[in-house]
Amino acid sequence: MAEIIRREFIYFWYYFDLQFRQIFWYWVMGMALGSLVSVFGKEKIHALFAGMRDKRIGVLGLVPASLLGIASPLCMYGTIPIAASFAEKGMREDWIAAFVMSSILLNPQLLFYSAALGPAALVIRFTVCFLCGIAAGVCVRLFFRNKTFFFNFSGFGETANRDTDPNPVLRFLKNFGRNIKATGLYFLTGIILSALFQRYVPENAFADLFVNNRSFGLLMAATIGVPLYMCGGGTIPLLMSWLDKGMSMGQAASFMLTGPATKITNLGAVKIVLGLKHFIFYLVFTILFALASGFLVDYVFRIT
């Protein structure tokens, strides 16, 4: 028994060490980028969005709104108070929807993490998240334009800024330390799960789920994003393993959309500001957009 345990530990450590060395510096640099944006660029990004309020550009405003949502470094519970302040100042709801949706799906830190998956996955992740933000704004504009408010931000106000140290270096280091504390456990958990997956999940079982039947695999990828998504950094090792085993880029795109959009902590916040009816609309929209994106990405990869 001792020999079996020792052997399995050696295998596990091999996979763990391999994944750790592949991803570690992406994680560190992603946190550094996120902290830089949070400390020195956050207020400018939000000011740019607030400055759009009086511009008469209609549906075209969804483009910068979605881009600025991606650029915003805040988590969901930081985004909602900011969005509440925008709504209070009279910002259009379709623009707010685009900003909030893209902010849920992606931020500068997660975008840098995704570089570990390769250039194609990086571009696809950015593109589908950007387009999802625009699509969310379009849906709010089309279906809720002449109805009651889509969002209900009552009770929400801007949270206190934690980056207040007068020394900019210390301000950055404190933010960076909070980043490590917030993501470190998830990062290690993702690598552990990836190592266990590579050691104990047979290739033929994975192929049956994702490779041999692409359509069913796409549905599975969109579905498993709901329970498996912990945080952005924690899922990168899993995605690396799955793509290496044969997961299609479209399946990965679906997972990268449904994961952050349906993460339990995010769902709780979304339910509060949307109410039940609009919350169901949000879930249906997310799943359908993820499936459509996955099919389109796989189609493009097949014809190129």
pTM for the structure as a whole: 0.87
pLDDT in tens, 178-197: 888 878 887 888 788 888 87
Lowest-confidence segment of 28-42, 198-212, 235-249 by average pLDDT: 198-212
pLDDT at 127 over 80: yes
pLDDT at 38 over 70: yes
pLDDT at 277 over 70: yes
User: Which residue reads 């079996």 in tokens?
Assistant: 4
Helix (H, G, I), strand (E, B) or coil at 109: helix
State both tokens at 281: 């609309």
AA identity, residue 171: R
Angle separating helix axes 264-303 and 214-228, nearest 10 degrees:
160
Spell out the domain ranges in the chain.
2-303
Higher pLDDT pick, 229 / 50: 50
- The share of the chain scoring above pLDDT 70, in percent, equals 90
Q: Count CB neighbours of 119 within 10 A.
A: 8
pLDDT at 296 over 90: yes
Sequence-distant (6+) residues with CB within 8 A of 182 are 231
Please, which pLDDT band fits residue 147 given cuts at 50, 70 and 90?
low
Distance CA 271, CA 282 (A): 9
